[in-house]
């Protein structure tokens, strides 16, 4: 007889539920979490990964566990929040002990890196679907929102853009080392948690890049009621992406998706402070917020650049 | 062109995100929720419903929206918590506007009844899978846990048992009114939120009945390190279930699942107080907690009753 649901949960998803403010973890009707300090707000986000849509069902389950938590921590980072707790809803076609061990191990390792307690969950049978909700704390008046960008603010991104999308495209001209580095960016993104916290009181708006720079920066501009010009020559690119860009292909850094970098705006008066801030990752100025609505892209030759497709949309027109 | 993911979310799942302590609802990287009062804990639970496993994909989407929230509010009720916020992760094969309107309407109506704000979510394409996480508040030292039952405590359940399971079985001898009432119990369970709150400081342990009385009471007994005897003749049954029981069939009230009633224990000294408490639903004494481990069932003729199967298990042996 295969192990029961309760045995599965007990075996793989308990023991990771200790942490700051956890009064009661896995194993009751609900977890009990201690209140925050006065003035702090709870930041809450949820993301789902679906087999065959967001990942190959045959992919490394440890990387999948890492990524599921990473994409949620990236959302918390974009609010400037410190991660605290997560819950996991796991729908599985079969109870595969080796898969569960690797998956929970990948998730638990990243959780431990960030002090995140896995406080609850639900395991069900069905098509492989993973939903994680993460919560963190942030001083309520210093949370980084999408609304807040003002004309004149500098626009920045952390890290480099388009790497995960190029790993998915997997062109034949990549050498072994380059391919491995790009796959790491796709499969094990690093949530920019320290950068998000360092940007409290510094950034005027922030978002994490999951659907591509053009679409996600577009959300910031819409929420803030402003526009922007982005200078393509200033986009931070790894060599493989730079080669594509030199050939005129800017699709991946602008609309590739799955970057999990932060995009944020900083008032001119605070840009010097930003340069000295400890973000734990490079931040690159890529453009300027403007009063006129819309996102304008300037090609290296100075002409306007038109993007074929803005970003990933689960239910929109086919790619 | 079908509506985009962002349009879908905006159309159906915003506007329900106002409520106590919601600083920022749907539409940013994360929701921002205000801290609780001193001494209060956050109770957090998550449940997934999978098409073809937990519900018929052709079922009424309004009832499904109701049930998805109800099963989570039932978990919060079992902690004695007052519901506050929910997030929704919705995986859909297609973007069907009529389905989404009915589903979100059913969910929003129950949310409004309980003052629950829908503060965030994620919509993805894939096999129909619904995950909702709900959070509530409860004085940390008065939360109802599974551990806490002591020998001599009375064992109680709210409402009636086995109705949802009988609706699933759908026997031919039910009349129209009886069938409709049972289907209502299956499709639109009433979370016992008021009862849970009233049981703070009164019950020594509590759980909600989702997998069947025998399995769920078993969790309370295991967590508390005790055993119990339950008297089958005392189980609260609607007439259709009572007819089955009279014929010797106790499977549904003991192991049918999907009851979403509360099972709780009360120390003898507080049983008189319970009788006067405002639970908003009937509570019936069905047995007594004992020091000897194990769950003993006593048939109406006084002999021990042996249960064929303890409760629903997603990954255990087939039913």
Whether pLDDT at B319 is above 50 = no
Residues A278 and A158: their CA atoms lie apart, in Å, by: 12
Test mutation, A26, A27, A29, A220, chain B, max B CBs within 10 A: A29
Residues B44 and A29: their CA atoms lie apart, in Å, by: 9
Distances in Å between the Cα of A234 and the Cα atoms of A143, A285, A298, A304, A306 are 27, 7, 10, 15, 17
Position B310 scores a pLDDT of 61
Instruction: Answer yes or no: do A53 and B124 touch at CB < 8 A.
Output: yes
SS3 breakdown of chain B: % helix, strand, coil, rounded to 5? 35, 25, 40
pTM for the predicted model, two decimal places: 0.90
Percent of chain A surpassing pLDDT 70: 93
Whether residue A232 contacts residue A155, with contact meaning beta carbons closer than 8 Å, is answered with no
Distances in Å between the Cα of A276 and the Cα atoms of A37, A76, A272, A280, A282 are 28, 23, 7, 11, 11
Read off the DSSP letter of residue A164: H
Paired tokens of B247: 């014929």
ipTM of the complex: 0.87
Q: Where are the beta strands (DSSP E) in B6-73?
A: 22-24, 31-33, 40-50
Encode pLDDT of A182-241 as tens digits: 999 999 999 999 999 999 999 999 999 999 999 999 999 999 999 999 999 999 999 999
- Please, what is the end-to-end C-alpha distance for chain B in angstroms? 44
Position A17 scores a pLDDT of 79
Chain A neighbours among B 173-192 (CB < 8 Å)? none
Instruction: Answer yes or no: do B91 and A46 touch at CB < 8 A.
Output: no
Of B33, B37, B129, the CB nearest to A42: B33
Residue B266, helix vs strand vs coil: strand
pLDDT band at B47 (very low <50, low <70, confident <90, very high): very high
Is A31 at the interface with chain B, CB within 8 A? Answer: yes
Whether pLDDT at B7 is above 70 = no
pLDDT band at B307 (very low <50, low <70, confident <90, very high): confident
pLDDT band at B24 (very low <50, low <70, confident <90, very high): confident
């Amino acid at each position: 007889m295969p192990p029961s649901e309760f045995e599965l949960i007990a075996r793989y998803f308990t023991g990771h539920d200790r942490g700051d403010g956890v009064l009661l973890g896995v194993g009751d009707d609900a977890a009990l979490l201690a209140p925050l300090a006065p003035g702090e707000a709870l930041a809450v986000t949820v993301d789902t990964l679906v087999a065959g849509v967001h990942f190959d069902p045959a992919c490394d389950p440890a990387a999948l566990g890492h990524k599921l938590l990473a994409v949620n921590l990236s959302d918390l980072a974009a609010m400037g929040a410190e991660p605290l707790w997560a819950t996991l809803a796991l729908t599985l076609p079969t109870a595969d002990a080796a898969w569960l061990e690797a998956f929970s191990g990948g998730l638990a390792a990243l959780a431990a890196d960030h002090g995140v307690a896995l406080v609850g969950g639900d395991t069900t049978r069905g098509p492989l679907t993973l939903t994680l909700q993460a919560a963190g704390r942030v001083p309520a008046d210093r949370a980084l929102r999408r609304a807040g960008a003002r004309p004149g603010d500098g626009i920045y991104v952390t890290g480099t853009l388009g790497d995960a999308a190029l790993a998915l495209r997997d062109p034949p001209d990549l050498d072994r080392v380059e391919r491995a580095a790009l796959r790491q960016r796709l499969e094990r993104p690093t949530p920019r948690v320290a950068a998000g916290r360092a940007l409290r009181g510094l950034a005027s708006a922030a978002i994490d890049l999951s659907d591509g720079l053009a679409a996600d920066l577009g959300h910031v501009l819409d929420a803030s009621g402003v526009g922007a010009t982005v200078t393509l020559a200033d986009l931070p690119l790894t060599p493989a992406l730079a080669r594509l860009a030199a050939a005129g292909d800017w699709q991946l850094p602008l609309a590739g998706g799955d970057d999990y970098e932060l995009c944020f705006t900083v008032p001119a008066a605070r840009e010097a402070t930003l340069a000295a801030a400890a973000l734990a990752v490079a931040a690159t100025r890529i453009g300027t917020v403007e009063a006129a609505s819309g996102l304008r892209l300037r090609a290296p030759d100075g002409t306007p650049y038109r993007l074929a497709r803005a970003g990933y949309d689960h239910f929109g027109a086919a790619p």
